[in-house]
Structure 1
Amino acid sequence: MRRFVKKWRPPLALVLGGTLAAVLTLPILGIVNLRLWGNVLGWGEAAWLIAWIAIIATAVLGFLLWRLVLRPVWALDRYAQDVRNGGQPDAPTHLGTPEFMALAGSVMGMGESLQSRADSLQAYANHVTHELKSPLTAIRGAAELLDAGASGADAATLSKTIMDASSRMQDLLDDLVRHAQAASSGGVGSVCLSEVVDGLALPVEILQDGMVPLVREDLRTILTQLAGNAADHGATVLTVRVLEGGIEVADDGPGVSPGNRDRIFDPFFTTRREQGGTGMGLSIVRSLVTARGGQIALSDEGPGACFLVSFG
């Protein structure tokens, strides 16, 4: 979410209260001063003076309301319209009162979230199309050969090709469902680390126990994906520690090569495609952590892979 430069602005309650107070008191002051000045300046001159004071006061109040209320509303409306039309608008710079600044932060955060989701959906659609082409091509080719009259050992090989390709497609679809579920907003809560480490793909060594700001199911999903990914790459143990506002998860595997460090969270990126890897495990973890307002990063610590999950 965007952060704004803090400038003092009167709160909206003060602006509205001051305006209502001026509307109430100006006529009363005008009547009182007309009676006081009428005998000194003359009734006509006193009336003109009071009229000019009223005009100037109204202009000042109108300017303040335009600057502190109307202009921020127009700016936010233009921003929302541009986002809805698919543009990349600049953030409004005149935000008026603190209430409008908070509203602007919420609207811009929502716009950025929607834009990010739209970009993610487009990227996933492109990836899914690319990933499903290979098994679909294999199934079609095998079906055509079977239809042409292949028999015996050839027919058995082609049948196995169809089964393997369909299994690959099922794995991809299952991972996409888990990815969509991870990206949806979850509940707020916390859980003790030691309560969710049993039954993972690797033995877990807890270096520092504590409460993690996630509900049980979310933390279990994160650890399951990280443990499974580590086991697939030759690790034998997972070490976990609770940090302030997050957790550190490391393994004793070979680690991540420098050439792959920037790509490991990308959907469908995998170094185990021949072994059936779909490349969605770490992408699922990142989507889940991001949906809960956190971040995950690959640390440089240790010979194996070390992930830092932080919140707040």
Structure 2
Amino acid sequence: MAGLRRKWRPSLGFVLGGGLVGTLVLSLLGLIALRYLGPEIGFRNAAGLLAVLIGCATAVLGYLMVRLLLRPISALAAYSGAVELGHPAEPPDHFGTQELSRLAGSVLSMADTLQRREASIRVFSDHVTHELKTPVTAIRAAGELLAEGNALTDQDCMLLQQILGASDQMQTQLGTLNSVAKARVPEHHGAATLNNLTDEMRASCPKLDLIIEGGDQTLPLAASGLRIVVRQLLDNAHRHGAGQVALIAKPGRLVIQDDGPGISDGNRDRVFNPFFTTAREEGGTGMGLTIVANLLSAHGGHIALIPSDTGACFEIVFPMG
């Protein structure tokens, strides 16, 4: 790309101004030529000849416009779209004008920076979970070994159970940390409907009465991603005592309403914070909503807790178009 940057490129103003001037000059030359050629070879012949010449000159201007403007813009748009979808793509090798060259350089640099940041997050999370799993497993094994002995007092047994419970919780949190990092990677582009997941949702949450409205409404998220989102929200509702959940799909929106105790005003601003949960005794990790928010954000969507008369109500807004 450094070699391309050393090439001379016209400015955008020069290209546009040249195109306008060229159009004006062709028109004037056509009138002048028709004025003098008409009496010599006939106005009909002169008009036909000028039409051919002006058509050829216009084709040359059009080719320059395509090469200097349309081609680099289309290539840059295709590259950006491929990066957004997480597909491998070669960066464009033609940048047209000076302004487009600077724009392309900025976009390529931004894409490279974002990819490196996402990779660093994945590597860091993988490294942390890998390094911590060994000591956590060792603590768990030591606790189980101690539990097999018969010389422990009741107080020692209580302390041992706390140690084993803490090790289990750490294992769960490490697995959830990996899930959060994976949720940031855009791998679920596509479309799906709630009807695609209805049987699966009812089987995985048999204790919840599911009410589905707009089940045939297409949502701009692949079934794999929609499955993760819905499962996390249904599990969240079940852990907090809900018995019925309504899933309402509309164009570009998905509303999930449960009949549970709801979320207190003091906790409403913290529900999307990592590791925040009010159901830790029931096995909650406080990362379910964080996973949902990260996954939706990676695909241009957004989730919010909206006011509701009963229970908790979450609204997911998907990007349109």
- After TM superposition, the score normalised by the length of structure 1 is 0.57
Q: Following TM superposition, by how much is the alpha carbon of 1:295 offset from its aligned partner in structure 2, in angstroms?
A: 1.1
Q: 2:269 aligns with which of 262, 270, 278?
A: 262
Which residue of structure 1 lines up, in the alignment, with residue 211 of structure 2? 205
Of residues 238, 242, 252, the one that matches 2:249 is 242
CA contact (8 A) 2:261 2:311 kept: yes
Query: What letter matches 1:188 in structure 2?
Result: H
- Residue equivalent to 1:4: none
| TM-superposed deviation, 1:155 | 4.6
> Equivalent residue of 2:269, what SS?
coil
CA–CA distance in structure 2, aligned partners of residues 233 and 246 of structure 1:
24
Contact 2:263/2:312 (CA < 8 Å) preserved in 1? yes
Instruction: Report the equivalent of 2:173.
Output: 172
Distance 1:100 1:299, change over 3 A: farther
Distance 1:294 1:268 in 2: 22
Deviation at 1:281, TM superposition (A): 0.6
Q: Which one-letter code corresponds to 1:245 in the other structure?
A: G
Map residues 31-110 of structure 1 onto 2, 5 A cutoff: 97=99, 100-101=102-103, 104=106, 107-108=109-110
Q: Give the letter aligned to residue 160 of structure 1.
A: Q
Tell me if structure 2 keeps the 8 A contact 1:142–1:161. Answer: no
Q: Is the alpha carbon distance of 1:277 and 1:97 closer, same or farther for their aligned partners in structure 2, counting shifts above 3 Å?
A: same
Alignment of 1:79-228 (within 5 A): 97=99, 100-101=102-103, 104=106, 107-108=109-110, 151-197=152-198, 198-199=201-202, 200-201=204-205, 202-209=208-215, 210-228=217-235
Task: State which of 280, 292, 295 in structure 2 corresponds to 1:285.
Answer: 292
Question: 1:90-144 deviations in whole A, cap 9, x for unaligned?
Answer: xxxxx9746755764675577578779979999x89xx9xxx9xx99x98x979x
2:313 aligned residue = 306
Do 1:297 and 1:307's aligned partners in 2 also have CA atoms closer than 8 Å?
Answer: yes
* Equivalent AA in structure 1 for residue 262 of structure 2: G
Distance 1:196 1:100, change over 3 A: farther
- State the SS of the aligned residue for 1:211: coil
SS of residue matched to 1:248: strand
* Cα offset, 1:163, TM superposition: 2.2
Residue 297 of structure 1 corresponds to which residue in structure 2?
304
Cα separation, partners in 2 of 1:240 and 1:109, compared to 1, 3 Å: farther
Q: Over aligned residue pairs, what C-alpha RMSD do you find? A: 4.3
Unaligned runs of 5+ in 1: 1-8, 22-94
Q: What is the Cα deviation at residue 308 of structure 1?
A: 1.4
Provide the rounded CA distance (Å) in 1 between the counterparts of 2:105 and 2:253. Answer: 29
Contact 2:247-2:255 within 8 A present in 1 as well: yes
Deviation, structure 1 residue 160: 2.4
1:157 Cα deviation after fit: 3.2
Is the deviation greater in 109-118 or in 229-238? 109-118
CA distance in 2, matches of 1:98, 1:302: 53
The match for 1:253 is 260
Which stretch of the first structure deviates more once superposed, 213-222 or 190-199?
190-199
Distance of 1:117 and 1:310 partners within structure 2: 27
Change in Cα spacing, 1:243 to 1:228, as seen in structure 2 (3 Å) is same
* % same residue: 33
Change (3 A) 1:238 1:185: same
Q: What is the total number of aligned residue pairs between the two structures?
A: 221
Letter of the 1:182 counterpart: A
Q: CA deviation at 1:268?
A: 0.4
- C-alpha contact (below 8 Å) 1:10/1:97 kept by paired residues: yes
1:203-237 C-alpha deviation (Å, 9 max, x unpaired): 32112221111111110110000000011111111
Supply the distance in 2 between the matched residues of 1:298 and 1:249 (Cα, whole angstroms): 10
State the distance in 1 between where 2:100 and 2:249 align.
Answer: 36
